[in-house]
């Protein structure tokens, strides 16, 4: 009888474990692919995909600072002073400029406060936008393409040669590793002076 | 028997361990965070009214003494990011936003802007001009000069005589023209 209880207990533990693992890796819990409501239904697909506006037109700081930056309303209005100037959908943008009050976007990508991420080092050392953000130029409304679990970061920090791109491919949302990524990647890691995996997977690289 | 039933409840202990660690959200303000402490709800602050900068944050830069390939490459890149939506890749003012109805900017590569002084471009980038907003927050003084150098390169290339090209470039141009015609 005791054996039966132990067996049931162990089985239950395993089942709960599997359930929790599945749940914690699910898109629902990871908030992946879910576009939160925003003050303006901004479309990356339209601006980046269809109009071909460079990422850096709005995210200007991405090459220099830790944060990629959100455009000030002044940047939006550079075009929208004339384009869709009377659209009710863009009223919050016009109000923001008129009242000198920032637009309050809902954050889409969030890292834990104990992880220190820096955009500039990544985009200047061969990691393209789409490696973490997915094909932004196809996102009608903005959602996270990754849940940014530690294992996601480590998959690259342990083997950067599988992911690094040449500098002219950083902004290419459709980039896929070429067939000869093994050789190209290794050469790029050298060119970019990227440290070896033992250094890149040090705790203190991301946690300070 | 009863105490053994407790074994069945053991798996629930695993659930109890699921609370997200407190350190995930720490008591500090980060860039872009919401912050209820300030009236406008953001943690990023403007300098208080009346702040005097010890060093001007974006001092004007003199035009570069020499124009080299690196400066032109930087200018080409920045032109692509910030100018092409309206001025077009060729600088003719046929950018995507203009095709969508924005005021047509004058062409860089024909008409009076070909003769315009360099300072005219610098001032337009810095202060805006007509329908164009200021780009002072997007292009540093050094980048403005790089963009202007690239505009000068466009003015040259868009009006260049094919015969003036080196043989190698001419062969490449003719090959691509043949390719276009074949399509």
Interface contact B81-A54, CB threshold 8 A: yes
Residue B15: what pLDDT?
61
In whole angstroms, what is the distance from residue B105 CA to residue B92 CA? 8
Domain boundaries, chain B: 69-158
Q: Right CATH number for B69-158 from 3.40.50.300, 1.10.760.10, 1.20.1440.230, 1.10.10.10?
A: 1.10.760.10
| Partners of residue A78 in chain B, C-beta under 8 Å | 132-133
Shortest distance between the Cα of B59 and any Cα of chain A, in A, equals 18
Q: How confident is the model at residue B19 (pLDDT cuts 50, 70, 90)?
A: low
In whole angstroms, what is the distance from residue B105 CA to residue B93 CA? 5
Tell whether the model's pLDDT for residue A89 goes beyond 70: yes
How large is the ipTM?
0.87
**3-state secondary structure labels for all residues of A37-61:** CCCCCCCHHHHHHHCCCCHHHHCHH
Alpha-carbon separation of residue A65 from A59, A68, A175, B70 (angstroms): 10, 7, 24, 22
B106 at the A interface (CB within 8 A)? no
Residue A178: what pLDDT?
95
Shortest distance between the Cα of A117 and any Cα of chain B, in A, equals 12
| Partners of residue B100 in chain A, C-beta under 8 Å | 51, 83
Residue A195: what pLDDT?
93
The pair phi, psi for residue A162, each rounded to 5°, is -80, -10
Interface contact A101-B40, CB threshold 8 A: yes
Mean pLDDT across B176-182:
90
Residue B148: what pLDDT?
97
Interface contact B26-A78, CB threshold 8 A: no
| Partners of residue B15 in chain A, C-beta under 8 Å | 16, 20
Shortest distance between the Cα of B137 and any Cα of chain A, in A, equals 9
Report helix, strand or coil for A111: coil
Shortest distance between the Cα of A53 and any Cα of chain B, in A, equals 7
Kindly report, residue by residue over A144-179, the tens digit of the pLDDT. Answer: 999 899 999 999 999 999 999 999 999 999 999 999
Domain boundaries, chain A: 44-70+105-206
Whose tokens are 């970019």? That residue is: A192
Kindly report, residue by residue over B58-79, the tens digit of the pLDDT. Answer: 788 889 999 999 999 999 999 9
Residue A163: what pLDDT?
96
Interface contact A2-B4, CB threshold 8 A: yes
Kindly report, residue by residue over A91-147, the tens digit of the pLDDT. Answer: 999 999 999 989 999 999 989 999 999 999 999 999 999 999 999 999 999 999 998
Mean pLDDT across A9-22:
89
């Amino acid at each position: 009888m005791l054996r039966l209880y132990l067996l049931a207990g162990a089985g239950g533990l395993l089942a709960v474990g599997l359930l929790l693992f599945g749940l914690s890796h699910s898109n629902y819990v990871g908030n992946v692919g879910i576009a939160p409501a925003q003050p303006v239904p901004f479309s990356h697909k339209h601006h980046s995909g269809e109009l071909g506006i460079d990422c850096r037109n709005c995210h200007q700081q991405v090459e220099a600072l830790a944060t990629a930056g959100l455009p000030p309303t002044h940047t939006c209005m550079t075009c929208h002073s004339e384009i869709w100037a009377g659209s009710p959908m863009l009223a919050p943008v016009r109000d923001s400029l008129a009242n000198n009050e920032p637009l309050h976007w809902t954050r889409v990508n969030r890292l834990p406060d104990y992880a220190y991420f820096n955009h500039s080092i990544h985009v200047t050392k061969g990691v393209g936008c789409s490696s973490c953000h997915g094909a932004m130029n196809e996102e009608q409304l903005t959602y996270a393409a990754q849940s940014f679990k530690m294992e996601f970061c480590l998959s690259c920090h342990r083997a950067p040669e599988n992911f690094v791109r040449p500098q002219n491919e950083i902004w290419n949302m459709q980039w896929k590793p070429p067939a000869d990524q093994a050789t190209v990647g290794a050469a790029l890691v050298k060119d970019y002076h990227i440290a070896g995996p033992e250094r890149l997977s040090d705790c203190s690289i991301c946690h300070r | 028997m009863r105490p053994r039933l407790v074994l069945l409840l053991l798996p629930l202990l695993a659930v109890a361990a699921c609370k997200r660690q407190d350190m995930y959200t720490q008591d500090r303000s980060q860039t872009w965070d919401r912050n209820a402490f300030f009236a406008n709800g953001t943690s990023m602050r403007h300098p208080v009214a009346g702040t005097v900068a010890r060093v001007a944050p974006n001092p004007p830069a003199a035009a570069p003494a020499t124009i080299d390939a690196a400066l032109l490459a930087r200018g080409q890149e920045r032109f692509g990011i910030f100018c092409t939506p309206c001025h077009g890749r060729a600088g003719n003012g046929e950018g995507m936003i203009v095709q969508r109805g924005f005021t047509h900017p004058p062409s860089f590569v024909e008409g009076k802007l070909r003769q315009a002084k360099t300072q005219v471009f610098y001032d337009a980038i810095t202060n805006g001009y007509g329908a164009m907003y200021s780009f002072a927050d997007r292009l540093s003084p050094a980048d403005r000069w790089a963009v202007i150098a690239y505009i000068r390169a466009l003015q040259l290339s868009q009006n260049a005589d094919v015969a003036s090209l080196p043989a190698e470039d001419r062969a490449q141009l003719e090959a691509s023209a043949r390719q276009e015609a074949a399509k």
